[in-house]
Structure 1
Amino acid sequence: MNRATFGEKIFDIGNVLFLSIMMLATVYPIVYVLFASLSDAGQLMAHNGFLWKPAGFSIEAYENVLRNPMIGKGYANTFFVVAVGLTINILLTSFGSYALSRKSLKYRKPIMMGIVFTMFFNGGLIPLYLTVKGVGLSDSLWALIIPQAVNTFNLILMKTAFEAIPDALEESAKIDGANDFTILFRIILPLSLPVVAVMLLYYGVSHWNSWFYALIFLQERALFPLQLILREILLQGEASSMATGASDMDAAALSATLKYATIIVATVPILCVYPFLQKYFVKGALIGAIKG
């Protein structure tokens, strides 16, 4: 075995220190929010500086958050958008990627150029709003799903992954009488599970975190997704109204912990899903990003 030189040891130590600092800078804000959400409201207001443990322990903020009926409605709306949206996203992206990855497709290059064009130029927000309103999707959860049905970058990523699968598999399947749907669902997709997992993660996180289009297209509060409810609580002072039965001073203190608790409630589900897809992430992204 070759012994590391002095310079290599210094580099390794510096690399570990740098990555450790980056990890702390990334993780600590989440840890701070978690500890703050579990803190006593009065002690948290009096605390200054870093927070390495809950300032007192209280779950009152979570009790108030979970009593808020809009949180439950927001969860239900978000789960609907994520579940239905992911199904449509994966199906349409798979169909488009499979068609564009076939060398026999006529006008393949012009079609691909037109798709790539949309990555750099679009009509803007006003034409999108008028289109959504014109087709009757305004003030409907479908306005958060249909316009986002296919992402160009994800389409290109999956197309590149499909192109890496040997053509001999498709040819042998066609000799056995398989049609394009059979080839896609029984050969191409099973061999592309890492890429499919990456698509689930990309689309899922996008739907879960989406709030801007909900703000534009939705007027009825009963249809608001979770992130829009979170925005109201954080930016529009809705947290104080959730501190029921408290004096003005106590309500002001409790509203701070309520904001932190709401962030945790809105973030935990997607954090729980990520570890199950993480093992596919690097492999799927590389397969879809490197041709050949």
Structure 2
Amino acid sequence: MNGIYLIAMLIIVLYPMYFIVIASFSDPSAVGTGRVFLFPKGMNLKGYQLIFEYKQLWIGYRNTVLYTIGGSTLSVSLTLMTAYAFSRRDMVGRGFIVTLFIIPMFISGGLIPTYLLVRDLHLINNPLIVILLGSVSMWNIIITRTFFQSTIPAELFEAAKMDGCGNIGYFTRIVLPLSKAIIAVLIVFTAVGNWNSFFNALIYLNDRNYIPLQLVLREILTSQTQMMQQLDLGIVDQDMAEKTFLAESVKYGIIIISSLPVLCIYPFAQKYFVKGVMIGSLKG
């Protein structure tokens, strides 16, 4: 029964991914009319041709790569340094500072106060806001702090201190090399989060040269939905119907292209991922 259940769950998870792949290569009219189910019908690459010719898509792709690299680097760096400080029992005022960090996890200022703050900082329509806003996650800090406390013996710091090593040297030379598992987890969490993020860009960015890939995909999906509604109402001609079906193929192709970088991260981080999550979740 366990085997049957797991196989069924595997099919449920994999079929949507498989359908997206075959739909991106199939005849747009077959996809639009629901005739593609298990195998592609009428091999057609025109959707991919349109994708590669769409300039705004690659501008969004470039922006997303930059936001992901910059945001992940900043977030992981701040998380590791903050978690190390919180893991030190001799830190002055640690309980009070940790409390200040925990409060925003449950009580948020809200969208309007945040927007007013961003406006006063002159970060509206500034791509830095996508990297800075949300770069610190208390949840990741708690996991990382627990990892440091449960994995790295306190005696190591005492030994390093006797050899003349301070907190900075101990953190960079001893703690970081012993924390590859949790660093890999943080990189995966933050990279996937930054890659899929679109809300901050939607609220704070107006220049189309700064918008990320997810907003470009959202625009395409919105226009495609409107075209499908017009087709259902019968208010479009034959040429418009073909364009509508082609937009459906473009949608699936964009999903594949936008998901590839994220799918490529997991195989390299997999050996650290489970270990880091399990160790970081203990003694919380």
**TM-score (normalizing by structure 2):** 0.92
Name the counterpart of 1:176. Answer: 163
Would the aligned equivalents of 1:37 and 1:61 in 2 still touch at CA under 8 Å?
yes
SS where residue 80 of structure 1 aligns? helix
**The one of 247, 265, 274 aligned to 1:273:** 265
Would the aligned equivalents of 1:39 and 1:57 in 2 still touch at CA under 8 Å?
yes
Partner Cα distance (1:236, 1:180) in 2:
55
SS where residue 177 of structure 1 aligns? coil
State the one-letter code of the partner of 1:224. Answer: I
Gaps of 5+ in 1: 1-13, 241-245
Aligned CA RMSD, in angstroms, stands at 1.7
Residue 89 (structure 1) aligned with residue 81 (structure 2) = no
State the one-letter code of the partner of 1:31. Answer: Y
Runs in 1 of length 4+ with deviation above 3 angstroms?
Answer: 236-240
Name the counterpart of 2:23. Answer: 36
Once the two structures are overlaid, the 10-residue window that deviates more, 171-180 or 217-226, is 171-180
Residue 239 of structure 1 deviates from its aligned partner by: 9.9
State the one-letter code of the partner of 2:207. Answer: E
Name the counterpart of 1:222. Answer: 209
Partner Cα distance (2:124, 2:193) in 1:
20
Aligned length: 273
Q: Deviations over 1:6-35 (max 9, x none)?
A: xxxxxxxx1111111111111111111111
State the one-letter code of the partner of 1:143. Answer: I
Residue 72 (structure 1) aligned with residue 58 (structure 2) = yes
**The one of 164, 173, 188 aligned to 1:201:** 188
Partner Cα distance (1:40, 1:239) in 2:
21
| Aligned residue runs from structure 1 range 97-136, under 5 A | 97-136=83-122
Q: Deviations over 1:121-147 (max 9, x none)?
A: 110111111111111111111111111
Higher RCO (CA < 8 A, seq sep 6+) = 2
Name the counterpart of 1:249. Answer: 241
Would the aligned equivalents of 2:224 and 2:248 in 1 still touch at CA under 8 Å?
no
Name the counterpart of 1:3. Answer: none
Partner Cα distance (1:53, 1:272) in 2:
25
Residue 291 of structure 1 deviates from its aligned partner by: 2.6
Gaps of 5+ in 2: 228-237
Would the aligned equivalents of 1:81 and 1:144 in 2 still touch at CA under 8 Å?
yes
Would the aligned equivalents of 1:218 and 1:224 in 2 still touch at CA under 8 Å?
yes
Partner Cα distance (2:34, 2:203) in 1:
38
State the one-letter code of the partner of 1:191. Answer: L
Residue 160 (structure 1) aligned with residue 152 (structure 2) = no
Would the aligned equivalents of 1:38 and 1:57 in 2 still touch at CA under 8 Å?
yes
Name the counterpart of 2:48. Answer: 62
SS where residue 64 of structure 1 aligns? helix
Name the counterpart of 1:19. Answer: 6
Partner Cα distance (1:46, 1:150) in 2:
46
Would the aligned equivalents of 1:239 and 1:255 in 2 still touch at CA under 8 Å?
no
Partner Cα distance (1:238, 1:56) in 2:
23
State the one-letter code of the partner of 1:253. Answer: F
Matched-pair identity in %: 37
Residue 263 (structure 1) aligned with residue 250 (structure 2) = no
Residue 288 (structure 1) aligned with residue 280 (structure 2) = yes
**The one of 128, 138, 141 aligned to 2:124:** 138
Q: Deviations over 1:184-237 (max 9, x none)?
A: 111111111110000001100100000111100010111110011111111233
Would the aligned equivalents of 1:97 and 1:156 in 2 still touch at CA under 8 Å?
yes
SS where residue 133 of structure 2 aligns? helix
SS where residue 224 of structure 2 aligns? coil
State the one-letter code of the partner of 1:93. Answer: T
Partner Cα distance (2:32, 2:223) in 1:
20
Partner Cα distance (1:279, 1:138) in 2:
40
**TM-score (normalizing by structure 1):** 0.89
